[in-house]
Each structure stands twice: as structure tokens, then as C-alpha cells.
Amino acid sequence: MPSPFHYAALSIFPEMFDGFWSTGMVRRAIMGGFITGKAVDLRAFAEGVHKVTDDKPYGGGCGMVMKPEPLMKGIAHLQSEMPGAPVIVMTPQGQPFSQSLAEDLAREKGMIMVCGRYEGMDERACIKADMELSIGDYVLTGGELAAMVVMDAVIRLIPGVLGGEDSAEKESFSEGLIEYAHYTRPPVYEGMEVPAVLLSGNHRAIDSWRLETSLKRTFLKRPDLLEDRSFSREERSILQKWSREIARLADN
Ligand code: ADE
């Protein structure tokens, strides 16, 4: 068995991660020896009896700033335990997180997630960061939830973590399309029927139906994803079929 990937988060609220490590797929990944995960208390690296991790901003203004010393010590400690793991600072000013970044990060041996709080981190501690990541254009009360979002997206891509061999590949965004619609039993629910092709047992027909619904859902819900995408022959012929159908309706 290959050596596990190591995930660590540095935070003043390490208990926020308890449910993350102990639930569902992430728990299974830990139990199965695919990954290790821990949250480390930033206060353990702070000086004095009060273990203070924040201070007033130079130049005035509201809010508090995370002190550089505990951050630097905490990061150095985790780097010594996890050599080579990138240091990722969670901040709304970071690079937007995406599925393709998750794929890149799943090839690393692990990640050190630094979770900011208050108004942010002292700029001098940011030099330790290999990457700054944002999970969206909104401001959370801290980086913990954002770190869990990133780790969750990365961990499920680690070989062996997802049950089905190819389930991570054949899904939303991994081929630049939104995923096709899913159905399970019963075949009729409150008068709504499962598309007949899915009950046909004809796998070629099912694959083409899935591709067409993927394309349709992407066109309707996230047309931006189609802008810079190159299409396969089959995709192009589906688009041409739609275009002929639309032209026929428009000419009526
Ligand atoms: N910390 C606070 N808001 C954040 C966001 N949107 N992404 C990453 N880290 C954050």
C-alpha cells in the first residue's frame, strides 16, 4: 500500500474539524489508510500565559490581525512533520479554487492549510504560503470552512478513496460539463417517470443519452463552461442536431 497523503489544518478552532475527519468519505479515507488528517491548535505556538494569537493593526482601524510569530512557528512545525507539503493560506483574496486545482493538489503528498481569522494575517506570515486560495467571492468568519471545502474536494480524488474506479472522473466539471441527471427506484414517483432509455439495458444508448443531457444541462445552467471548451465529434453532432431543430421551429 502506498504511503498515505497527509492533511493538516492550522487554526485557533481545531475542534471545527472534528466532524470533518470523523464523517463519511473522509473518515473512510483515514480508516482505510489512504490519508491522515489533523487540525493543530495555533494557540499552542503562541507565547505567554494567555496564548494570544491576535493584536491591533498598525495604522489603526477596526478588527484584529493574526500575529506573525505563532503562524510562522506553527507552519514551520507542520512543515517539519510533512516535508514538501504545500502551505495553503485560505483567504478571500486568494486564487479562486476549482476542480482543476483540486486535481493538481491531489497529486501532492499532502497539504498544510492555514486558516485565518479576524481581519486577516500579518503580511509577513504570508511569505510562507505556497498558494493563497479563495472558495468564492464572499467573506467567511474564518478560513476553516474554506479549508474543509478544499480538502474535501482533493481527498475524494486520491486514488482508492472513492469506491468506483472512475466515479471521480465521470462527473460534473471533470470533463468541463455538468453531470447528467441521476435516477434510482421507483420507476414512477408521483407520476414522474424515469427516462425509458435508462431501463433499456442498452449501454450505448444510455451513454449517448447521458452525454446529451450533460450537454443540455450545461447549456441551460452554466453556458459559461462551454465558451472555451473544445467539443468531441459526438458532442458537435448533438449541438448540430439541436441547431437544426431550433432552426426548424424558428422557421415555422
Ligand atoms: N476566509 C474567509 N473567507 C474566505 C473565502 N471566501 N475563501 C477562503 N478563505 C476565506
pLDDT digits (tens, 9 = 90+) for 19-60: 999 999 999 999 999 999 999 999 999 999 999 999 999 999
> Which residues does residue 66 pair with via DSSP β-bridges, in sequence order?
54, 121
- Is the confidence at residue 166, as pLDDT, over 60? no
Confidence of residue 155 (pLDDT cuts 50, 70, 90): very high
All structural domains of the chain: 5-155 (3.40.1280.10), 188-251 (1.10.1270.20)
The model's pLDDT over 89-140, given as tens digits with 9 standing for 90+, comes to 999 999 999 999 999 999 999 999 999 987 899 999 999 999 999 999 999 9
Residue 134 Cα, ligand 1 centroid: separation in angstroms? 5
| Percent above pLDDT 70 for the chain | 96
Specify the residue with its C-alpha closest to ligand 1, atom 2. 140
Pocket mutation for ligand 1, best pick of 10, 13, 134 (most atoms within 8 Å of C-beta): 134
Cα gap 195→238, rounded to integer Å:
18
For residue 135, give the ligand 1 atom closest to its CA: 7
* pLDDT (mean) for 69-82: 98
**CA proximity to 42, closest of 78, 18, 6, 90:** 78
- Is the confidence at residue 167, as pLDDT, over 90? no
- Strands of 151-214 (E only): list them: 188-189, 192-193
DSSP annotation string for 201-219? --HHHHHHHHHHHHHHHHH
**CA proximity to 182, closest of 213, 208, 159:** 213
Residue 93 Cα, ligand 1 centroid: separation in angstroms? 8
**What is the per-residue pLDDT for 164?**
55
Question: Which residues sit in the known binding site for S-adenosyl-L-methionine?
Answer: 116, 135-140
Confidence of residue 1 (pLDDT cuts 50, 70, 90): confident
| Grid cell in block for residue 179 | 453531470
Residue 252 Cα, ligand 1 centroid: separation in angstroms? 51
The model's pLDDT over 44-53, given as tens digits with 9 standing for 90+, comes to 999 999 999 9
Cα 232–238–242 angle (5° rounding)? Answer: 145
- Is the confidence at residue 163, as pLDDT, over 90? no
| pTM of the shown model | 0.92
Quote the mean pLDDT of the chain.
94
Residue 147 Cα, ligand 1 centroid: separation in angstroms? 9
CA-to-CA separations, 9 to 65, 116, 137, 182, 193, in angstroms, rounded: 19, 11, 22, 34, 46
Residues framing ligand 1 (Cβ under 6 A): 90-92, 116, 134-136, 138-140, 143, 146
Pocket mutation for ligand 1, best pick of 89, 91, 95, 113 (most atoms within 8 Å of C-beta): 91
Maximum pairwise Cα distance, the chain: 81
* pLDDT (mean) for 184-198: 98
Specify the residue with its C-alpha closest to ligand 1, atom 9. 91
User: Quick check: 31 and 96 in contact, CB under 8 A?
Assistant: no
For residue 141, give the ligand 1 atom closest to its CA: 2
**What is the per-residue pLDDT for 168?**
65
